[in-house]
Structure 1
């Protein structure tokens, strides 16, 4: 299982932690089975990981439950200092972690370094929020008693993360959970598990007590997660992934009335008005579309460009997309890495072929790369019809689908014509119009003249079928708290 790469890595992936992390100990799964992890840049296996059984998962819940009272009783300042050490260690090891993310995920090394910095920042942010879980004391309107409000840790949390941001999606959940005083079981995606296991060892080094964070990987995700959600000791589910899977998990969680945070799919519109700064809009489009090669829930999916600027915008974006260097993620020269697997290549190819058959013009790319690995050429399509499947589904790859519009009301209606509502992007030189359109868009987040909005200090999340709850900001720690009211007289 050698890594076939023109670039020499600073570590051997076969020597990284790959067993289950339960109760502060590395252990193989009870079945003894292993799963292979692949490098999308080559299609070759690079390591194997433990395959947890249902019993392993329930052992992880037991470990989290046992550790919960001690961690909840730990002083907020002490919890915050441990989280701060997690931040420091991640920043100190940013280069190695970025290489690892690029290896198992395929994203470019520059994107991976950005992810590590972003992921670490959740520990710094929530290290500060840990000491700011303030309650309230006020008088009842009748004057009969005082109202005391406290925020207490909700309990054992099951955290489920996707493959596209293997560090950030984990720390965005673990950091607020720990800051609030909760313990957790993390189940990362089997496509990118090595990052989660390496970070588990880092948490231990930073001083996270045994059992507070547990990490398991499994080939039987449905049955394993279901067993955990039906364990009465579990009181929280935080999930990032597709809307389809999110719906199923909400059904599962309903049986035990488990609190759920859901960060689900997106279908982000990118709206460019005639009066927009063209170069700024192009810069923003490249960030919003090509961060992580388009494999992001925040990726711009539908480009709506006003007629007066459409030709210039399409040409500028085509030139930029066509110039991107495609290659192995961990090659420092790469600007666009591979997709996560063969299925992704075939699915995106089908979307593009359908759009072209329905009249769209290919301005750049348009097909898969025939080299080893899972590559699809950076692609620009113009004249895409409003009802094309590529505008109704999340592309999750390096494909731009451009449509034109004339009237503000029409583009707002088109942008809102989706079950999703995670994020939208608006470019205009008229601030009043920008704010007006931003308010009318059915979206949990809006990038106004910006192609990047993610920030640990901001509430991340969507509306409609893009999710429930928020991650980051002070809102993120409240997702892991129960509010208690005490009536008292003195």
Structure 2
């Protein structure tokens, strides 16, 4: 593929050619694959003005008319799935088959919310007098600004954009510096679908400049962010000045409990899919494995066999299942945590080493399995974001739930048991927004995605997802 030198998309125009450029590199090779404008405060202000100007027209369209456009958008994304997946693998590094899966996942939010927008219902409430009527209606919150992460360059945009547009809001997104090309391609498809100018806008560039402008402008009524808890905390503080509506999908540290009555083959299969997807760089992937003592040795043996089969390398190689880590910081964190665990008594059964090339800027870490883990190891308390599966033994369900909940995060948790009574108690005892019961990949457009505690506020997906972009208005009528 030729280098993609793309421009910002503001008010239906491709702009920013004269700006300084941000180079985008392939994390598997270090090669420059394209560039985007380094936008700042002026570009962000232009995007806000465009979104504000487009809001009355877009919000007054019928939900059905908006759905028709979104449905066209869905079809165009799928038509170009190969192109979008290739771009995603180039700038993110994930295996091509994973990128194709993400395109389908990203498109599913467009499809789901195109229809869900038609089901934004109000209600009539009995009045307090014979001549009194109470009407409750839902209206779009207004201009929405989104900040999205690099690990899912398409899906983390559409999961926000789709409900915003379906509800009648207009939208501005700042994609990450590592993976902006996917975002801009999505805007090309939006333009082809007939989404009116100003309704969707992309500003690539300095995150601080973007944030300062959207937080200071009262016309931006909602902020939605996926990323680290540290950044989410700062955004929440800034949003307080103008009381902006805010949704935060933040860090996680997902535990996995494997009970002694689990179907071990199924558990291993699902854990492998969860743990090593996107090289372990997902906020809901399996981070800590707690396995009951009676099946510990058997489980470790089965996991060892499967992890040994994994090949890591360039995501364009057909047999590669684990791609590179996104950057040096991510690599050094993984390396440090593995070293810490081994020094404190963990046994490395597979992997344990990486390949770093600072000159090229490429960082690979071998799929790794660690046994004999304990609570003193950093990896059991701090999210890894890498292809490392650490296993700790436990005795009772109560102990497993305590260990699983011993974290400030509460995004996703998983457990495996065939016993419905036992499983119900574990599911209700886990302090997490998402719980996978015999399921390692629970994310889907029709279900509410989000966490508790320091993993964030609000939900994305499902009927709850569109509520985040709506305001409730009460009309009191005296006849």
- Say whether residues 1:232 and 2:221 are aligned partners: no
| 1:66 counterpart residue number | 53
* Residue in 2 that maps onto 1:478: 467
Cα separation, 2, equivalents of 1:104 and 1:24 = 25
Q: Counterpart of 2:10?
A: 22
Q: CA deviation at 1:370?
A: 5.1
Q: CA deviation at 1:367?
A: 1.1
Taking the TM superposition and a 5 Å limit, the aligned residue runs for 1:373-392 are 373-392=362-381
Note the alpha carbon deviations across 1:423-447, whole angstroms, 9 max, x for none. Answer: 1001011111111100010000100
Q: Which residue of 1 aligns with 2:266?
A: 280
1:118 aligns to what SS in structure 2? helix
Q: CA separation in 2, counterparts of 1:336 and 1:273?
A: 28
1:324 aligns to what?
Answer: 310
Find 1:110's aligned residue among 82, 93, 97.
97
1:4 matched to which residue of 2? Answer: none
CA contact (8 A) 1:29 1:52 kept: no
Please name the residue that 1:450 is paired with.
439
Q: State the alpha-carbon separation in 1 of the partners of residues 469 and 335 from structure 2.
A: 40
TM superposition shift of 1:143: 5.2
1:343 to 329, 346, 349: 329
Match of 2:419 among 416, 426, 430: 430
| Residues in 2 aligned to 1:435 and 1:108: alpha-carbon distance in whole angstroms | 36
Aligned to 1:55: 42
How is 1:79-118 mapped onto 2 (pairs within 5 angstroms)?
79-118=66-105
**Maintained 8 Å contact 1:29/1:51:** no
User: What's 1:5 paired with?
Assistant: none
Q: How many residues align?
A: 476
Give yes or no for contact 2:94–2:315 (8 Å, CA) kept in 1.
yes
**Aligned equivalents of 1:46, 1:29: Cα separation in 2:** 17
Instruction: For residue 354 of structure 2, give the secondary structure of its aligned residue in structure 1.
Output: coil
Shift of 1:334: 1.3
Instruction: Describe the superposition over 1:156-192 as per-residue Cα deviations: whole angstroms up to 9, x where unpaired.
Output: 0001100000000000000000001000110011100
Task: Give RMSD over aligned pairs.
Answer: 1.2
The question of 1:357 aligning with 2:343 is answered yes
Q: Residues 43-192 of structure 1 correspond to what in structure 2 (within 5 A)?
A: 43-140=30-127, 145-192=132-179
Change (3 A) 1:436 1:109: same
SS at match of 1:130: helix
**Could you tell me how far 1:222 is from its partner in structure 2?**
1.9
- Change in CA separation of 1:322 and 1:149 when aligned onto 2, cut-off 3 Å: same
Matched, 1:248 2:237: no
The TM-score normalised by the length of structure 2 is 0.97
Instruction: List 4+ stretches of structure 1 deviating above 6 A.
Output: none
Q: Is 1:404 aligned with 2:388?
A: no
| Partner Cα separation in structure 2 for residue 230 and residue 335 of structure 1 | 44
In the TM superposition, residue 59 of structure 1 has moved relative to its aligned partner by: 0.9
SS of alignment partner, residue 375 of structure 1? strand
CA displacement at 1:489 relative to structure 2 = 3.5
Q: Indicate if the aligned counterparts of 1:64 and 1:183 stay in contact, CA closer than 8 A.
A: yes
Are 1:307 and 2:293 an aligned pair?
yes
- Once residues 456 and 224 of structure 1 are traced to their aligned partners in structure 2, the CA distance between those partners, rounded to angstroms, is 28
